[in-house]
Structure formats: C-alpha cells, structure tokens
A and B are shown apart, each in its own frame.
Chain A
Amino acid sequence: MLSVIQFPGSNDDRDTRFALKSVLACDAELIWHKQGELPAGTSGVVIPGGFSYGDYLRCGAMARYSPVMAAVRRFADAGGPVLGICNGFQVLCESGLLPGALIRNHHLHFVCQRVHVRVEQALAPFTSRSRAGAVLRLPIKHGEGAYFASPELLGRLEAEGRVLLRYCDADGNVSPASNPNGSLGNVAGLLNQAGNVMGLMPHPEHAVEADFGGRDGRAILGSLVDAVTGGHS
C-alpha cells in the first residue's frame, strides 16, 4: 500500500491517490500529517505537491517538522521508497532526505506549462518503466523550482549518476533554452545516495490519462507501483 502524505495546504494529494489507485490499480491511502506512524503495510510513500503550511518561511520548511515526517525518515532509512513531487521535493530537501535546495525561479514568474524531461537512467524504483534517454512530457507548476546545490555537491551528484530527470527540449537536448526555472544542471529530478528517495518538480500524477495531458507520468508512478507490488504491466 502506498501512503500519500497530506499536509495542511497539500493540493495534489487526491490527484496523486487517483493516479495510483484508479489509473495504476495500486492501493493508496491519504495519511494526515499529524500521524506519528505510517500505517502497517505501507510499502511506499508519496509526498504530493501543493503549498504545505502556505509555503510560510520557505517551501517545505514547516512540513519538515510535522509528526509524520519522523516516520517517513525512519521508513526511508530502512530502505523504503519515498517519492516527493513538487512541494514534496521541497519537503524532502528541507528534511535533508535529499541534498540541495529549491529556490525562487530565476525569472521570478510562477511557471505553469508542459515541459520535456529526459530520463537519465532507467532504475527501480522510480524510472524502471522508462529507458535512459527517453523524453517525457510532463506539467510543471511552481514558483520555487530552481534546483540549487554547491558546485562540489552538484559535481558529486553528477558523478554518482543521481540526476534522474533533466529539463530538455522535445528531442532530448539539454540546454539553457530548455530550462524553465534556472535549475542548476537542468535538474528536474534527483535521487538520494541509497537510491530509494526521489524528488522531482514535474507532476507525473497530472499526466496519467491520454485525454488529460498525456500518459507520460505513468513512467514514474508506474515504476513505483511495480516496485511495491512486484508487478509489471
């Protein structure tokens, strides 16, 4: 069962559950942030997008100290897969479960558009349904999505192959022109060192049905579903 964490101000929580449960046929439940434990039977955690705590102080800064985050940390430390989408990515960075930070878009505008991202590696549990070099078309919607890391950290992330998704054009070319927010290295999605925690700014849950923005989001969410159910479709 996938636990979808719900903070005050989360707003993609239900869409995420819908994508997992109704589209990908994986059991998924909303878990209120006040819960100090994840439900027994949790095999994966998704921290959805939104504006937890109204983005007060910094995006994700307050959510980090919600009771459920201690349980999420224990789950991640034990090797359980944790996926953070948009605000969820920000929460994971603020929590230290992922390195670096997400800061104000370099042009100051809130971006709401479809972008292309290149899959850098096909890896369980987050991109096994895709292949290296594949280009996904996914929506983004954020004001603070510029990935920042010190040059040393960024170098290490690149060397360790931990950048999983990069903003690119329709042909997969990565360039400043295909960077929608000023992210260093065009980073759109990132792995932790152990490979079981991923954060990404694009919204796979908003791209799971052909009639509603395409199905490329299944490459990400479907991989997670495969990992927790042991299945593949």
Chain B
Amino acid sequence: MKALVHVTLKADVLDPQGKAIAHACAALGHGAVEGVRQGKLFEIEISAPDEAAARGVAAEVSEKLLANPVIEDYAILRIEP
C-alpha cells in the first residue's frame, strides 16, 4: 500500500521560501497569488494487511520522523492500495 503524507509548517511559523515563491508568482504576472506556504509530500510504500494497519504505520513515522511537532503539522492525505 501507499500512504501519502503532507507535512506543512504550522501557521505561526515564518515560511520565507513560500514568501519567495509568492514573489516569483507576482513577477510572472500572477498578481492574483496572495500567498504561498511550502510543504513536503511523502509517498510511503508500506507492506500492511489492510488500510488501518498502513495508516498506523504512516502515523507513527510521521510523528517520529517526517514532521517536527514544534514547527510542523502532518496530515495523512490518503492510503492507496
């Protein structure tokens, strides 16, 4: 199975990279872009008997490794067969 995990900076953490990307969007002529927050997407291959088990593994590695809870949140977007 495959888990898709999205890691984002918490709302109160400054994201200078996102800011720079937003500036670049404006420079491209897309003044409609009002803000960008940059995150990370992890595609994790998991050998598990069912979705619940795969979700459990994804949650554990997210909490222990993929996200730093001081500055980041994570969301398991979906589990694919």
Main secondary structure of the interface of A (DSSP, over half): loop
Chain B residues within an 8 Å CB radius of A104: 16-17
**How close is B30's CB to chain A, nearest CB, in angstroms?**
20
A49: Cβ under 8 A from any B Cβ? no
Task: Convert A88-123 into 0s and 1s, putting 1 for each residue whose CB lies closer than 8 angstroms to a CB of B.
Answer: 000001100001110111111000000000000000
Task: Convert B39-52 into 0s and 1s, putting 1 for each residue whose CB lies closer than 8 angstroms to a CB of A.
Answer: 00000000000000
Interface centre among B13, B17, B65, B70 (most CB of A within 10 A): B70
- Tell me if B12 and A150 are in contact (CB < 8 A): yes
Chain A residues within an 8 Å CB radius of B68: 58, 61, 94, 101
Main secondary structure of the interface of B (DSSP, over half): loop
A32: Cβ under 8 A from any B Cβ? no
- Tell me if A106 and B14 are in contact (CB < 8 A): yes
- Tell me if B65 and A106 are in contact (CB < 8 A): no
With A and B bound together, what is the CA distance between A103 and B17 in angstroms? 11
Chain A residues within an 8 Å CB radius of B13: 103, 148
Chain B residues within an 8 Å CB radius of A159: none
A57: Cβ under 8 A from any B Cβ? yes
A81: Cβ under 8 A from any B Cβ? no
B79: Cβ under 8 A from any A Cβ? no
What's the tally of chain B residues with a CB closer than 8 Å to chain A? 11
Chain B residues within an 8 Å CB radius of A61: 65, 68
User: Which residue on chain B has the smallest CB distance to residue A100?
Assistant: B70
Choose one: B20, B66, B70, B71; the contact of A57 (CB below 8 Å).
B66
**How close is B74's CB to chain A, nearest CB, in angstroms?**
12
Chain A residues within an 8 Å CB radius of B17: 104, 108
What's the tally of chain A residues with a CB closer than 8 Å to chain B? 20
**How close is A111's CB to chain B, nearest CB, in angstroms?**
13
User: Which residue on chain B has the smallest CB distance to residue A102?
Assistant: B71
- Tell me if A101 and B70 are in contact (CB < 8 A): yes
Choose one: A57, A100, A103; the contact of B65 (CB below 8 Å).
A57
- Contact residues, B1-51 vs A (CB, 8 A): 12-14, 16-17, 20
- Contact residues, A126-141 vs B (CB, 8 A): none
Chain B residues within an 8 Å CB radius of A94: 68
User: Which residue on chain A has the smallest CB distance to residue B64?
Assistant: A65
Chain A residues within an 8 Å CB radius of B70: 93, 99-101, 148-149
A199: Cβ under 8 A from any B Cβ? no
Choose one: B12, B16, B66, B71; the contact of A106 (CB below 8 Å).
B16
